[in-house]
Every structure is written in structure tokens, then in C-alpha cells.
A and B are shown apart, each in its own frame.
Chain A
Amino acid sequence: MITALAAAILLQGQPAMDIEPQSTPRVVAALSQEVVEIRSDFAGAEIILFGAVTNMQAEDDLVIVVRGPEADLRVMRKERTFGIWINRAPVRFEDVPSYYSVASTRPLSDVGGFSALRREGIGLQHLRLSAPESERTEIRLGVEVTVSEIGEDIIEYRDAISRNRRRDALFAETTTGVQMLEGGLFRANVALPPATPVGDYEADVYLFRNGNAVAAGTVTLEVRKAGLERIIYNFAHTHGWLYGLVAVALALLFGWSAAAIFSRR
């Protein structure tokens, strides 16, 4: 939460530093849907992010990053022990976005410089995946750097998270996802797969000029359970014991009524 807040402050502060007074670009964005409801027929959703850029120049690029609610994860590496694959060597990652998708007008490496992308956490390569328990900070050449205690292995762990999430389409990167229309208008599709977790999402639109983000706009999205799904979920989590009794009662009802129906025939 604090990191998200800090990122938001950073974002708003960012363009102010690089502004050119004669053509200050501005980004305005909106979503076709600000709330996505998960009902019993939910099998993924596609929403449209659209907006406009003022004072856009021909060589400018747009990048859209959608981030889902953050959660802590444990990543374990399987190792063969007595012929059996067993989960070992856990590494705890904190505040990993449960959903992360990037869309841009051109490949990211052409859009922005390494440090600009890294600073904003744009792109699967630059997404910040921190494992604080396996890290320590050191001063090297007068600069504070983060060093992983498991060395190079941490890269494999990070790749594993990204690979795992891409498999469920929860992490995605498309280099042609943003469509530029006339007059600085743009649109992009945001695909939410069936496994989309509930929570608050944030979509950031970055305007890149000469390799740096010069303007940004943010819209928020909420994914929530609705209808019967919401009622059942809330019931299970607020009155667990009553839910259990109902579950048992329903099972008995079905079991006995089926026996009664079939024995009469």
C-alpha cells in the first residue's frame, strides 16, 4: 500500500521535472468499464482503455501498464530427492502484483531507456519483484545497491514467477497493444483472463519522448465478485460454521431425495 502510494506520488512528480514549457504534453485516460463484476458466468473480460494526449509529437510513444492487487508469494524450487521431486529452497517475495500487463505502441526497448523503464517498473523485465528476506543492501562505490543472498539464483526465481503468471495470462506484454488514432487519441484492449483476482487495479498511461516518460495519467479499475458469487463468498468468510452446516444439510437433502426418487421407480 505504501509502495503503491509512493509510486503514485513519484508518477505525478515525474513529468513536472522534464517539461518543456512551449508544448507541455498531457495524458487523459478512461476505461470502458470501471468495475468488472465476477458472476457465475465469468470467463474473463476485455475492457477498453482509451484517452487522448495533448501536444503529442510524431515520434512520441505510449505505454500502458495495468497492475493488479499485490500479494506475498512463496517460490520454491523442486529438487529430486530419493527419486521424487520435492519443493525446496523457498524464497518469499513481497508485494507481487497478481496481475500485470504492458501494452505499447512499439517494442519497449525502442520506447524508453533501461533506467527509465526500470524506474517505473515497465515491462516484465523491469517489474520489481523483491524478496526482502533474501536481500541485503550494501554500499558499493558509494552507491547503495541491493544484493541477493542467493546470488544469481534469484533471477531464476523471478523468471519462474513471470513464467507461471504468463501461463494463466495474468502477466502479459504486447508491443503493439496501443493503437494510435487521429488527433492524439489512443485506445488499447485490456484482457482480464478467467483467473483474474479480485481487488483494486491501476492502469498507468505513460507518454515517452526521447527515451523518457514525460507525462502520465492514471485510471483505476475494480474487479469484484457480484451476485450469487459474492453472497456465497461473503457467507463462507463471515459465517464459516453456518456455511458448513448448510453445506452438510444440502448434501444430506440431495443424497436422501435421490435415493427416495430412484427407489420409488
Chain B
Amino acid sequence: MQIYLPIAEISVNIFLLLGLGLGIGFLSGMFGVGGGFLMTPLLMFIGIPPAVAVSTEANQIVASSSSGALAHWRRKTLDIKMGLLLLVGGASGSIFGVQLFAFLRSLGQIDLIISLCYVGFLGIIGGLMFIESVGAVLRRNRARHASQPVSKRRKRRLIDRLPFKTRFPASGLYLSVIPPIIIGFFVGTLAAIMGVGGGFIMVPAMIYILRMPTSVVVGTSLFQILFVTALTTFLQSAQNQTVDIVLALLLIVGGVVGAQFGARAGRHVKAEELRIALALMVLAVCTKLGWDLVATPADLFAILPLREGGH
């Protein structure tokens, strides 16, 4: 059964969209990731214009992150002060990203930049995650024979020398406000360009750069993602009219149901193996997009509308 999407202006099979939502939702529930980094490229593969795919995916992430954010809010497993700082950076990053997106589109280079961002970030994150999780599995196997004490000593780094320090009681940190704002801005910009929540960058940045305790990392990340994607959806709607509400609803319906089943399935799998699988998946998407950049295209010419969506 085909459905005509009013903003994307193409006709797509409704079950394909529900299935995509369900499948990606399942994976995101299982791995605890947003799934935007998988969904946005897939939407483009099936022919949704990149501008619509990116904006609509931001709308879907609002739904997929909202239930998680609410749960963490109730359990108080989030650092609101840190979240607000990340949000200040994220909101400005989102505003900047939406402008940058429009500018790159006017140059005819938006597809290239989206692909390059994906290949770069997915490659780095997937690679690091793979190495780290394989290491963890090996350590776990070794730990059965002899457990090693983990060093908790922290070195004084560049980040600790920055001014405007403040206390983050929930995270137990005394840190400058500059790194969270910069990280938030960076992730907000990427979210607007790549159509992702940015959790896959935000979570490692919180753990390795800000050194937040893992108990509040996921909740804080979801809190920030929820607000930044909501803002991105709003800005893209107001400025570029590229949010397709019909497409978003179909993906959301599939996604929220899939995520619940995925979360249940995830409980029966060991965390390290889960991370290895996620890393392999991230690397697979990265390889596919990277291959498309270097392989000789079927048609050497690109036809670009001069103003999208305007009549």
C-alpha cells in the first residue's frame, strides 16, 4: 500500500516505513541509542530528499528520546545543571546548523557534507567502540583467573585549567562551564546537519572528556537530545518547511513499539557483546556510505532543484 508524503512529495510503501521504524526502533531499544544515524541514511536510500530526511528524523528522535528522558527524570538519574549547559550550547549549535544546512544546500554540496560527516564520525566512534568492547570482553575472560585493581587516580588535564568553574553536585564534578557548552554546540550543529540526536558523540564525550559518572550520563544525554531535536524540528519547520509530519508519525509509531521490544530483548544479552554488535553495525553503515563516496556513480551528473519545496 502506497502513501503519498505531503512534504517529501513522493509516494512510499506504508509498510516499508512502519517496518523501518519498527526495525530501527528495536535496535535502538536494544542498544540504548537513538537510531538516527541509521534511519537518516536509510530514508535517503529509499528516495526521501536529504533535507526532508534530516528534519523529519529530528522530529522522530523527539518521540524516541522523550520516554527515556521522562523515566530518567523520575528516577533523578540526570544532571540537570550539566544538561542545561549542554542545552545552551546545543540550542545555539542547532540554530547555526540549520543555517549551515541551508547554505550548503545552496552550494549543491549538502549530500557530500552529510556523507562525509557520517563516514568520519561513524568510522571513529564505531572503531573506538569496537576496540574498547573487544578489550572489555578479553579483560572479563582474564578477570576470571585474576582480578586486577582498577586505578582511580585522575590526572590534571587541560580541561581542569579553564576558568568559570562551577560545581555539578549530581555528577560530583567541579568543572569549567566552557567544555559542556562547546560540546553541546558541536553536537547540536551535527544534529541539525546529520539528522541525528547525537547521543553517539555526546555519551563518549561526557564519559571521556567531562568524566561524568556513568549513572547520570544516559539520562543527561537524553534530556539534552530531547530539547535540541525539539528545537531543530521547530526551526526546520519554521524556516525550511522540511518536516514531513506524515512520515514522522509513521516512523514514530513503528519506532516506539520496536524500542519497547528491543529493550526487553537487550536484557538477555551481555553488555559487551551488545556493544561489539553495535560497533559492527555502525562500521557497516560507515563502510556503505564511504563506498558510495569513492565508487564511480551510475550517473555522473546531479540534477538539483534551485529552490526546494517552493511553489
Contact, CB under 8 Å: A256 / B67: yes
How distant is B124 from chain A, measured CB to nearest CB, in Å? 18
Contact, CB under 8 Å: B6 / A74: no
Contact, CB under 8 Å: A83 / B305: no
B window 227-259: CB within 8 A of A: 230, 233-239, 241, 243, 245-246, 248-249, 252-253, 256-257, 259
Q: Does A143 contact B (CB under 8 A)?
A: no
Q: Does A161 contact B (CB under 8 A)?
A: yes
One digit per residue, 1 when the CB lies within 8 angstroms of any chain B CB and 0 when it does not, for chain A 191-221 equals 0001101110000000000000000000000
Q: How far is the CA of A40 from the CA of B246 in the complex (A)?
A: 10
Contact, CB under 8 Å: B246 / A164: no
Contact, CB under 8 Å: B297 / A71: no
For the A-B complex, the count of residue pairs with Cβ-Cβ distances under 8 Å equals 184
Q: Does A39 contact B (CB under 8 A)?
A: yes
Residue of B nearest to A90 (CB): B108
Q: Which residues of A contact B301 (CB under 8 A)?
A: 75-78, 156-157, 160, 163-164
Binds A, one of B56-64, B148-156, B173-181: B56-64
Binds A, one of B7-15, B34-42, B186-194, B213-221: B7-15
Residue count of chain B within 8 Å CB distance of chain A? 59
How distant is B294 from chain A, measured CB to nearest CB, in Å? 5
A window 207-265: CB within 8 A of B: 225, 228-230, 232-233, 236-237, 240-241, 243-248, 250-252, 254-256, 258-259, 262
Q: Which residues of B contact A75 (CB under 8 A)?
A: 301-304
Q: How far is the CA of A194 from the CA of B302 in the complex (A)?
A: 20
Q: How far is the CA of A90 from the CA of B138 in the complex (A)?
A: 53
Known: A74-B108, A248-B59, A255-B63. A160 touches B10 (CB 8 A): no
Residue count of chain A within 8 Å CB distance of chain B? 59
Contact, CB under 8 Å: A164 / B303: yes
Q: Which residues of B contact A259 (CB under 8 A)?
A: 66-67, 70-71, 256
Contact, CB under 8 Å: A85 / B71: no
Contact, CB under 8 Å: B304 / A232: no
Q: A74-B303, A248-B230 are in contact. List 4 more A-B contacts (CB 8 A).
A: A78-B301, A86-B109, A240-B239, A244-B237
Contact, CB under 8 Å: A83 / B294: yes
Contact, CB under 8 Å: B243 / A244: yes
Contact, CB under 8 Å: B60 / A229: no
Q: Which residues of B contact A77 (CB under 8 A)?
A: 300-302
How distant is A37 from chain B, measured CB to nearest CB, in Å? 11
Q: How far is the CA of A165 from the CA of B299 in the complex (A)?
A: 12
Residue of B nearest to A72 (CB): B306
Question: Would you give 13 A-B contacts (Cβ < 8 Å), ordered by A?
Answer: A76-B108, A160-B301, A160-B303, A194-B4, A230-B6, A240-B237, A240-B238, A240-B239, A244-B233, A251-B60, A254-B63, A256-B66, A258-B256
